[in-house]
Each structure stands twice: as structure tokens, then as C-alpha cells.
């Protein structure tokens, strides 16, 4: 059950000039609404703005008296800029945990693939699978890289790609996904979050090796509760699904990648 809470910011760190890491005290939100890694919170970003902004849960933890939840977001526009300027000690209005998350088992072993600001939810997946999974993460350049030490601590293996070759493999993550699956395709699933083009290429690579793949779709959102169609995503069977209500995670074979 989704809940709405005033949540206190208890720590804040700029990871690079665009990305902010926040830890929030969220009352009993994790205890009451955690379903799986890959869920998101919907945060009211400013008094004047009508719409909430969806941000993926990076990691979360049940605690007393308040559960803890961390998010990482990039400043893109008015809403995220407002949020980035909130000081430690201030409270924000958070609705969550929303969405379905990745279908995973704690005893499973997964190939986790994150691109840019799609990397944070992979951290939750890594922790949930207890250090057995492999992470493949991609960034535009070395100075945009986030969460690498944390992923090293929570995964059996971490492979890195950058678009400009300034760190790790020079190129896109799907090449590393193919390389990894050629060596070892005994993963329960490939789980991916990032730009749509990346998701499409990762889904294709997983399909080539016969490994199931789930993708987290990041469409723009309006109402966040399935009432406005802003977040509609085209499905392979011709239907349209709401990313906010039916997703954000879908089986990659469900999605129409050609639109």
C-alpha cells in the first residue's frame, strides 16, 4: 500500500556537479510498501509545481522509529533543482513506495545493467541478491560515474563502460552484456535501467543468449496514479500500459521497441 509522508532529509551529498544523493527518514514506508527493488518514490518538488517527480529508490532499510531510504537524482529542470536545494533537516512530501519493481528472488543471481542515472536502482537489486550478482554500468564519462565503490562491495563482479573511454571499456554497456553472457549465461535474469535505446540493445543481447530480461522504463509522468496517460508505454501486443501503475518494470518481451 502506497503511503504519503513528510520525510526528513538526514544527509545530502553532491556526487558530481549534476547528481545529488539524499537519505530520507520515511516513517514506516518501507515496512508498509516495499515489494521489490526497482520501485520509485513520487516527490512533491516545490509549492508552485502541481506535479510530483518520480525518482527510483536506490536502497532502503527497515528501521525504528523511521525506515531509511536513499535516492540519487540528476538536476534536469525546475523540480529536481528545487529538490537539490533542500538542506539537511528539511522535510519533503513523499508518496511511495510506488510501482512494481523487479521480479527477483533473494537466492537468485542476476546480471544488473545500469546506464547513467539508471544505475541507482541497480544498487538495491545488488543488495537484495546478497552479493552474488554481476553489475555492468555505463556512464558518459569518468566524471559522471556514481556508486562504483558501493557496487564493488555488493556484487561479485563490476564491469564499467564509458562513452568516451575515460574509464573502463570504451563503448556502450550492451557490448559488455554480450561479452559477459558469452562467458557465463547462467543468470536468472538480466535486469536493466537506463535510457530507452540502451534498454532496447540490452534486451536484444539477453534474447540472443536466451536469458530472461526485465527493463525499468523511464517515461515522463503526470498524475503518477494511472489517470492521465502521460506515462503510456506501447506494448508489443498493441496495447498501452501505464509506467506509473503497471510498471515501471516490464518483461522486455512485452515492450514494443520499434516506436
Which positions lie near ligand FES, rule CB under 6 A?
A: 221-224, 226-231, 242, 244
Contact 189, 213 (CB under 8 A): yes
- The one among 4, 63, 219, 251 contacting ligand FAD by CB under 6 A: 219
Give the one entry of ligand FES, ligand FAD, none that residue 248 binds, where binding means its C-beta sits below a cut-off of 5 to 8 angstroms depending on kind.
Answer: ligand FAD
- Using CA atoms, how far apart are residues 219 and 204, in angstroms rounded to an integer? 20
Find where cell 575515460 sits.
166
Regarding 138 and contact with ligand FAD (CB under 6 A), the answer is no
DSSP 119-159: SHHHHHHHHHTTT--EEEEEESSGGG--SHHHHHHHSSEEE
Residue (80 or 162) nearer to ligand FAD, CB = 80
Min dist. Cβ of residue 51 to ligand FES (A): 9
Among 7, 55, 136, 173, binds ligand FAD (CB under 6 A): 55
Q: What's the closest the beta carbon of residue 178 comes to ligand FAD, in angstroms?
A: 26
Binding segment toward ligand FAD, per CB under 6 A, in 27-35, 69-77, 131-139, 149-157: 69-77
Rounded to whole angstroms, how far apart are CA atoms 142 and 259? 31
Residue 59 has which C-alpha cell? 536502497
79 binds ligand FAD (CB under 6 A): yes
Q: Are 160 and 138 in contact (CB under 8 A)?
A: yes
For 3, the 3-state DSSP assignment is strand
Compute and round to an integer the Cα radius of gyration of the chain: 17
Residue 42 within binding range of ligand FAD, rule CB under 6 A: no
- 161 vs 249, beta carbon nearer ligand FES: 249
Residues in the site for ligand FAD, rule: CB under 6 A? Answer: 40, 53-56, 72-74, 76-80, 117, 120, 218-221, 243, 248
Amino acid at each position: 500500500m502506497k503511503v504519503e509522508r513528510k520525510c526528513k532529509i538526514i544527509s545530502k551529498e553532491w556526487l558530481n556537479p549534476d547528481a545529488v544523493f539524499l537519505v530520507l527518514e520515511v516513517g514506516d514506508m518501507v515496512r508498509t510498501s516495499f515489494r521489490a527493488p526497482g520501485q520509485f518514490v513520487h516527490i512533491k518538488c516545490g509549492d508552485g509545481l502541481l506535479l510530483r517527480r518520480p525518482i527510483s529508490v536506490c536502497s532502503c532499510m527497515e528501521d525504528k522509529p523511521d525506515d531509511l531510504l536513499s535516492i540519487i537524482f540528476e538536476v534536469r529542470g525546475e523540480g529536481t533543482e528545487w529538490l537539490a536545494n533542500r538542506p539537511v533537516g528539511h522535510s519533503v512530501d513523499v508518496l511511495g513506495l510506488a510501482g512494481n519493481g523487479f521480479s527477483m528472488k533473494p537466492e537468485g543471481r542476476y546480471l544488473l545493467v545500469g546506464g547513467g542515472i539508471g544505475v541507482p536502482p541497480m544498487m538495491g537489486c545488488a543488495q537484495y541478491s546478497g552479493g552474488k550478482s554481476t553489475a555492468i554500468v555505463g556512464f558518459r564519462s569518468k566524471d559522471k560515474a556514481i556508486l562504483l565503490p558501493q557496487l564493488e562491495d555488493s556484487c561479485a563482479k563490476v564491469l564499467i563502460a564509458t562513452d568516451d573511454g575515460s574509464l573502463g571499456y570504451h563503448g556502450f554497456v550492451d557490448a559488455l552484456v554480450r561479452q559477459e553472457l558469452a562467458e557465463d549465461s547462467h543468470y536468472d535474469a538480466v535486469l536493466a535501467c537506463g535510457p530507452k535505446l540502451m534498454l532496447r540493445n540490452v534486451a536484444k543481447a539477453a534474447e540472443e543468449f536466451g536469458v530472461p530480461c526485465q527493463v525499468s522504463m523511464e517515461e515522463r509522468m503526470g498524475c503518477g496514479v494511472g489517470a492521465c496517460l502521460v506515462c503510456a508505454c506501447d506494448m508489443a501486443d498493441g496495447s498501452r500500459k501505464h509506467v506509473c501503475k503497471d510498471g515501471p518494470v516490464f518483461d522486455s518481451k512485452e515492450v514494443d521497441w520499434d516506436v
